[in-house]
């Protein structure tokens, strides 16, 4: 095992509004404090009763998908918690992933694409 799935992240124009929508659908707790991420106008969360965490990320020029038109396909990405970004990143690359954005060394996440091109993030887990 390389990582733990932390959450599913949906791009959207209004994170708080989409969190409220999914809260009405699933119940749970909107924007519960969590050391894995900061909450602000660009990021909202829903901790569902099942244990699933949905996150909502603001994208200024968000274009919603059109079903089933592949011109604007479904949009989301997965965040995976890891203890060591370098080690996990090396393992992902060996599995066929592509590094899209490593960012500055002090940043707590890195963006990769899976072999089919879907973005995913490795996120450094907080020290326990």
Query: pLDDT value at position 128?
Result: 66
In total, how many domains does the chain have?
Answer: 2
| Segments forming the whole domain that contains residue 110 | 76-128
pTM for the whole thing? 0.79
Q: Among positive and negative, which fits the CA dihedral 120, 9, 67, 28? A: positive
In this structure, are residues 118 and 8 in contact, taking their beta carbons and an 8 Å threshold?
no
Query: pLDDT value at position 31?
Result: 98
28: in domain: yes
Question: What average pLDDT score do residues 110-127 get?
Answer: 87
Q: How distant, in Å, are the alpha carbons of 35, 47, 51, 87 from that of 8?
A: 16, 11, 12, 22
Is 53 found in the same domain as 93?
no
CATH number at residue 25: 3.10.180.10
1: in domain: no
Q: What is the percent of the chain where pLDDT is above 90?
A: 62
Q: What is the percent of the chain where pLDDT is above 70?
A: 99
Is 81 found in the same domain as 48?
no
Which of 14, 49, 17, 43 is closest to 31 using CA atoms?
43
In this structure, are residues 47 and 31 in contact, taking their beta carbons and an 8 Å threshold?
no
Question: What average pLDDT score do residues 41-48 get?
Answer: 96
Name the pLDDT band for 69 (thresholds 50, 70, 90). confident
Which of 40, 33, 34, 44 is closest to 10 using CA atoms?
44
15: in domain: yes
Question: What average pLDDT score do residues 93-120 get?
Answer: 88
> What 3-state class would DSSP assign to 22?
helix
96-101 long-range contacts (CB < 8 A, ≥24 apart) are none
pLDDT tens by residue, 9-18: 999 999 999 9
């Amino acid at each position: 095992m390389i990582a733990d799935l932390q959450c599913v992240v949906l791009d959207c124009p209004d994170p708080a509004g989409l969190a409220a929508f999914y809260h009405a659908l699933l119940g749970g707790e909107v924007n519960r404090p969590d050391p894995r991420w900061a909450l602000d106008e660009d990021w909202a969360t829903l901790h569902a009763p099942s244990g699933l965490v949905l996150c909502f990320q603001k994208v200024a020029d968000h274009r919603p998908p059109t079903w089933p038109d592949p011109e604007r396909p479904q949009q989301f990405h997965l965040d995976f918690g890891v203890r060591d970004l370098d080690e996990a990143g090396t393992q992902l690359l060996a599995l066929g992933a592509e590094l899209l954005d490593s960012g500055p060394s002090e940043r707590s996440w890195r963006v990769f694409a899976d072999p089919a091109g879907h973005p995913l993030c490795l996120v450094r887990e907080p020290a326990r």
